[in-house]
Amino acid sequence: MPRTVFAPVALLPEGWAERVLIEFDRNGYVIKVEKGASAPAGADQCRGPVLPGMPNLHSHAFQRAMAGLAEVALNPEDSFWTWRELMYRLVGRLTPEQVEDIAHYLYIDMLKGGYTAVAEFHYLHHGPDGKPYADPAEMSRRVLHAAERAGIGITLLPVLYAHGGFGGKTPSDGQKRFINSTDSYLKLQEALARDCAVPGRRLGFCFHSLRAVTLEQIKTVMGGAGDDRPVHVHIAEQQKEVDDCLAWSGRRPIQWLYDNVGIDARWCLIHATHADAGEVAAMAGSKAVAGLCPTTEANLGDGLFPALEFLQEGGRLGIGSDSHVSLSVVEELRWLEYGQRLKHERRNRLHDSNKHVAGYLYRASLAGGAQALGQKMGAIEVGNRADLVVLDGQHPLLAHISGDDILGRWLFAGLNRMVKDVMVGGEWVVQDGRHGNEIEAGRAFAAAIEAAI
């Protein structure tokens, strides 16, 4: 028996529609969408506007443990690089059980913030001494299990991290839990292929950054002909990274990547903060997704991605919560737009010919996120995952509001608590703003923090 959801109003690919019946199969994929329908008996009745759930295209789950604890000005030159030292200290202690507990609670909060799937950029592979666990995929499997328990979709991106700097530098002590050779990395990919061959999961390739891999390694990993796995990489997040890359190769990081590697729509370039006009044009032309993480980029003092110029070139983008200082679709999209307003000293910067900023940002991030995760999601349509976010139809701010103004209210004047119910793959995982595991998961998270910090 297929299950059905009845939405008083829903955001469909062709626009907003009233009285929408959404039917899905036992694997959680949509098999029918009907507009102007009557509510059949037995359908789940939504109590507010229904949106496609947002894919979160960039996460390092364990970093949630230190979110908000690095906001002390101990060093006048505080930057990404001093933050990274704190992160390495935390990394030195975490056990697989703690990583799972942290990720479980994190993913619950993500769902409550409006995300229905996550791309986990996973580089914490080994024991504290740098030796692989008896099962080298232990940490990856912990993350997958946390996602399953929370009920969030996941694209797992095991990371190849082989070196400590441009030109194949030896890794530092703080990086030893991350390190793989090309061989051990490909074995890890092979081991996880079966784990990820189920609905709601996907496996992708991932290179930590150009600091961490050589061109030869990228080419070897990407060698499989016809492989359509998504590929993610951190790139040009920091000015220092640009300077170091120039000193090493004579080229800027994005320029180097495009000159040496065939970048296409499988790729998601995380941050790409420091992109010049030529790099912006190359990125947009390649159809790769720019993986933007505005709250983390602001928190780390990275700089501002040239989003306006990128969109004028037809570039594709999506959002990620990265270090998890925020777990909110609202905050990421609001900061994405506000960064451009502050920079250009003008209002309403990021939009298409419809001129509606919130409507544009939400749709663009759905499409970019789905592409970056390599999964059928990001729109309420036949063949996609039944991933839905229901806003609070009783909220006074949403009274007598229709169309993209619903998104305007939520994204520019609302908060996470406007998210009432969340469905992932046909299962309600958040109802009335609460997740069934949140109390137990919160306790386990607190215990993990007590032990690890």
Of 297 and 438, nearer to Zn ion (C-beta) is 297
At which residue do the structure tokens 């940490």 appear?
Answer: 139
Of 158 and 425, nearer to Zn ion (C-beta) is 158
* Identity of the residue numbered 229: R
Of 87 and 377, nearer to Zn ion (C-beta) is 87
Q: Which residues pair with 427 in a beta bridge?
A: 424
The Cα-based distances of 236 to 86, 209, 255, 329, 330 in angstroms read 21, 9, 10, 23, 25
Contact between 261 and 218 under an 8 Å Cβ cutoff? The reply is: yes
Q: Annotate 264-276 with b (16+ C-beta within 10 A) or e (fewer).
A: eebbbbbbbbbbe
As a whole number of angstroms, the longest Cα–Cα distance in the chain is 67
| Interacting positions 176-235 with Zn ion (CB under 5 A) | none
Instruction: In angstroms, give the least distance from the CB of 63 to Zn ion.
Output: 8
> Binding mask 282-321 vs Zn ion (x if CB under 5 A, - otherwise)?
----------------------------------------
Instruction: In angstroms, give the least distance from the CB of 123 to Zn ion.
Output: 9
Instruction: In angstroms, give the least distance from the CB of 346 to Zn ion.
Output: 30
- 205-207, strands of its sheet edge to edge: 205-207, 231-235, 267-271, 289-292, 316-319
Of 122 and 229, nearer to Zn ion (C-beta) is 122
Of 16 and 88, nearer to Zn ion (C-beta) is 88
Of 322 and 337, nearer to Zn ion (C-beta) is 322
Q: Which residues pair with 207 in a beta bridge?
A: 160, 233
> Binding mask 320-359 vs Zn ion (x if CB under 5 A, - otherwise)?
--x-------------------------------------
Question: What positions carry a catalytic annotation?
Answer: 271, 322
Of 302 and 322, nearer to Zn ion (C-beta) is 322
Instruction: In angstroms, give the least distance from the CB of 127 to Zn ion.
Output: 22
Contact between 34 and 20 under an 8 Å Cβ cutoff? The reply is: yes
CB closest to Zn ion, residue no: 322
Residues counted in the chain = 453
Calpha distance 82→75 (Å, rounded): 8
Nearest to 206 by CA among 140, 258, 255: 140
Calpha distance 257→259 (Å, rounded): 5
Contact between 44 and 4 under an 8 Å Cβ cutoff? The reply is: yes
Instruction: In angstroms, give the least distance from the CB of 40 to Zn ion.
Output: 45
Within 10 angstroms of residue 170's Cβ, the number of other Cβ atoms is 9
Instruction: In angstroms, give the least distance from the CB of 427 to Zn ion.
Output: 29
Nearest to 438 by CA among 53, 117, 109: 109
Instruction: In angstroms, give the least distance from the CB of 43 to Zn ion.
Output: 40
Interface with Zn ion (CB under 5 A): 322
